[in-house]
A and B are shown apart, each in its own frame.
Chain A
């Protein structure tokens, strides 16, 4: 679904991303965005969208300008912002949209997944604040500090997404932060988190921690019976060779982490414990 050279529309399951060319000058971006949204005005009638900004910051006011273009031209509401330094290539600005339920034909890709599988992840909404420009900046500031690796306080106290019932086959979500599941993750379910994933239950589905590339992300679960999982770009799973399997771990709480470019699993003893007895989990 290519729209113009500058604004491209990419469907990812139930979400739609506007990818805007990184080399285009800002005034071209605004014109193209206006034109594109105007031409698709029937499609984007109503709905909340997330503004997803890449690593390179836009100049002050530019983000607010884009927000107002989107809101005035399309009737969409920018309610959520996302700032994740490692998640995107330099300078790419993305707008992720969750289209309205009434979205039309052209959006067939939008309906590629049943709508009741959508999980809307609330992020701090700037709407309540009076001036949009300052609201935008304050959100960016807060998100920046949350992602600041050097600030220990911000790294260790996060707002996690909390799932209180069994996460079942066919359900999937992507959260830009930590995820806690107070139940099992069943086979066929998928969770992607930019931060850590904690499963207070049995992890049988597919999970990806540090999905934006964070090697330091971990997966903690009461049990990891046999599932495959991923941390950053590394894939993990129970060892496939019989010899390796024989010295794999007894059941019990486990932590999976990346060490010397492969995934290890050890009995859980705290998030920042020094793990030395982990077994390679690279099956």
Chain B
């Protein structure tokens, strides 16, 4: 088996890299693939918490790289009935405890056994970023529709391209459709024209995502969640399926439809 290593990165912190990694990983596993997610945020590990596996950690990434345990000893199986594994980061070490080349070797080893190796990259563009990106054949950039996140994404795309990771794909996370509609938030087109890369997914801001993170169950498990649905579609696109991007519509209940009919909604007035 020859799998694929994909790094999930952003430059800026707090835009949803770890959430995206957990959900795309779970999504791919739900599609029947054998998946391993690797947390490279050494010293600030989070992926285990998001996946609800923090109590099962015995060995970590640094143990594997230093040879104190075998690769499969550090792999923690997901709670659900999928072929999904986590290699957690070490919490008591720092980014300099591993070298890009070592991670590359480890991922090459994992690719023999898994369909997808997803690397959760730390924020920033320093050693941790270099470690995480060295092993990957593809990259997914996560951004939010905010100028600072987009600036950092632009920088990261430039760095990835110059290190040979061409054509990274973009997830625009935490879109608030009603704000976009009011013109208060950048839409997909604005972000695309700034960053000039392919968009692989639009994820709406969704309270379910926060709840899911707190419970340690990735939001893709929640069929009612709009963000969960978006991540499932992203997983399908990563898997090579051609699914068109969905327009994110503000929630329209019966009442707002009624207001729209009688010309009472905000949009009608804003054009007056």
Contact = CB atoms under 8 A, between A and B. Distances in A.
B196 A166 contact: yes
A170 interface: yes
Interface in A153-174: 165-166, 168-171
A225 to B, nearest CB: 11
A94 interface: no
B104 interface: no
Given A116-B163, A184-B196, A187-B151, A169 B158 contact: yes
Contacts, number: 38
B272 interface: no
Contacts of A187: 151, 154
B125 interface: yes
Contacts of B152: 169
Contacts of B194: 184, 186
Nearest to A115: B162
A75 B163 CA distance: 27
A188 B162 contact: no
Contact of A168 (B125, B158, B163): B158
Given A114-B125, A116-B163, A171 B158 contact: yes
A184 B150 CA distance: 15
B174 interface: no
Contacts of A135: none
A186 B191 CA distance: 12
Contacts of B15: none
A117 interface: yes
B254 to A, nearest CB: 42
Contacts of A169: 151-152, 154-155, 158
A183 interface: yes
Nearest to B161: A165
Interface residues of B, number: 14
Contacts of B151: 169, 187-188
Interface in B149-186: 151-152, 154-155, 157-159, 161-163
B162 A116 contact: yes
Contacts of B159: 114, 116-117, 170
A51 B114 CA distance: 52
A183 B196 CA distance: 9
Interface string A98-116: 0000000000000000101
A250 to B, nearest CB: 19
A116 B161 CA distance: 9
B196 A188 contact: no
Contacts of A116: 159, 162-163
Interface in A106-133: 114, 116-117
29 contacts: A114-B125, A114-B159, A116-B159, A116-B162, A116-B163, A117-B158, A165-B161, A165-B196, A166-B196, A168-B155, A168-B157, A168-B158, A168-B161, A169-B151, A169-B152, A169-B154, A169-B155, A170-B154, A170-B155, A170-B158, A170-B159, A171-B162, A183-B196, A184-B194, A184-B196, A186-B154, A187-B151, A188-B151, A188-B155
Query: Which 7 A/B pairs are nearest by Cβ-Cβ distance?
Result: A168-B158, A116-B162, A169-B155, A169-B154, A170-B155, A166-B196, A168-B154
Interface of B: 125, 151-152, 154-155, 157-159, 161-163, 194-196
Given A117-B158, A169-B152, A169-B154, 18 more contacts: A114-B125, A116-B159, A117-B159, A165-B161, A165-B196, A166-B195, A168-B154, A168-B155, A168-B161, A169-B158, A170-B154, A170-B155, A170-B159, A171-B162, A183-B196, A186-B194, A187-B154, A188-B154
